Copies of this chain bind each other. A is one copy, B any other.
Amino acid sequence: MNSFGTIFRLNIFGESHGPAVGIVIDGCPPGIALCAGDFIADIERRKGGVQRGTTPRKEDDVPNFLSGIFNGKTTGAPLTITFANNNTRSADYEKLRSIPRPGHADFVASKKFNGFEDYRGGGHFSGRLTVCIVAAGVVAKKILRSVNEEIRCEATITEIGGERNLEKGLQNAIDAKDSVGGIVECVVTNLPIGLGEPFFNSAESLISHAVFSIPAIKGIEFGAGFAAAKMFGSEHNDAIVDKTGKTATNYAGGIVGGITNGNDLVFRVVVKPTSSTPKEQNTLNIETEEIESFSVKGRHDLCIALRVPVVLEAVAACVLADLLLLRVDG
């Protein structure tokens, strides 16, 4: 259940406070040059450590290649990348066992796994696992570029706490001593026409499936998205203007009938405010069955959306790499 993809297939594993998190990438074509240095830029972007609003926690995330690489290139066998968990303080979490943190998976995980789940720091539900997704994204982006050097997959934050001035949105949260949500947009350019399948595996289906595995994401829209509800058909329809399928507008976000149409693929996601907020909150102590007041100590991001862009790029790149490999004509 912790896997995704048809040919380029991801299998993710690990817990926040276990020895390591990792990913097995099956179906990676042979001959792709890969070294630890290729991962630095995207892994750094995920840390968000230099930005206000992200946690100062130091994570020296060095990819460890367990399999699938030989003489600096992928072999075609499963590619396994792990990241050691060095900087963990389990004691912070263990005392919270009887107080499921609001907004976190603590309560549902305990019910689903009959109390056997690793509850330290979110365990397998932790945002920590997104470092594995980012690593897979680095590989996927290389596959995209091997098909067409011009393909770009880039995500940016467009809004924090309702403000398009991101500094202001963050400052509002800092002033309120609270966490805050945001919106991230991803654009993929120079994709070929024809990726996606009409029923059940539309490009939107596969992208949204992968996107909703990123913790904290609660909505996705393509092209005009929710604004389309207010539009007339004559406005929303994108007129084709030349033989390559280029359209005058791009309200469809580059996908028609579930299939990429060669225009920019555009989608946006909403990232909920970090569940761990410095503000005092009420929650149930499931042992005493009494409502307790509760406040999160320690290192937490005020705005988890700041870390999301590189993760969003990664899942989009993984889905698109898979669709490219699935084309019968390669």
Contact = CB atoms under 8 A, between A and B. Distances in A.
B232 A179 contact: yes
Contacts of A236: 103, 181, 272-273
Interface stretch (A41-49, A54-62, A200-208): A200-208
Interface in A25-78: 26-27, 29-31, 65-68, 70, 73-78
Interface in A70-103: 70, 73-80, 82, 100, 102-103
B200 A103 contact: no
A19 B208 CA distance: 33
Interface residues of A, number: 146
Given A77-B15, A241-B291, A231 B273 contact: yes
B212 A208 contact: yes
A151 interface: no
A183 interface: yes
B200 A273 contact: no
A16 B160 CA distance: 45
Given A102-B237, A210-B200, A329 B328 contact: no
Interface of A: 1-4, 6-7, 9-15, 18-22, 24, 26-27, 29-31, 65-68, 70, 73-80, 82, 100, 102-105, 107-109, 111-114, 116-118, 122-125, 129, 159-162, 173, 176, 178-183, 193-194, 197-202, 204-206, 208-213, 215, 217-226, 228-243, 245, 251-253, 256-261, 270-277, 279, 281-284, 286, 289, 291, 305, 325-326, 328-330
30 contacts: A1-B27, A1-B201, A2-B77, A11-B24, A14-B66, A15-B75, A19-B65, A20-B66, A30-B113, A31-B116, A70-B117, A75-B116, A77-B124, A103-B237, A103-B256, A108-B245, A161-B230, A161-B232, A179-B233, A181-B228, A200-B213, A208-B208, A208-B211, A215-B257, A219-B226, A220-B220, A229-B305, A232-B277, A240-B286, A251-B272
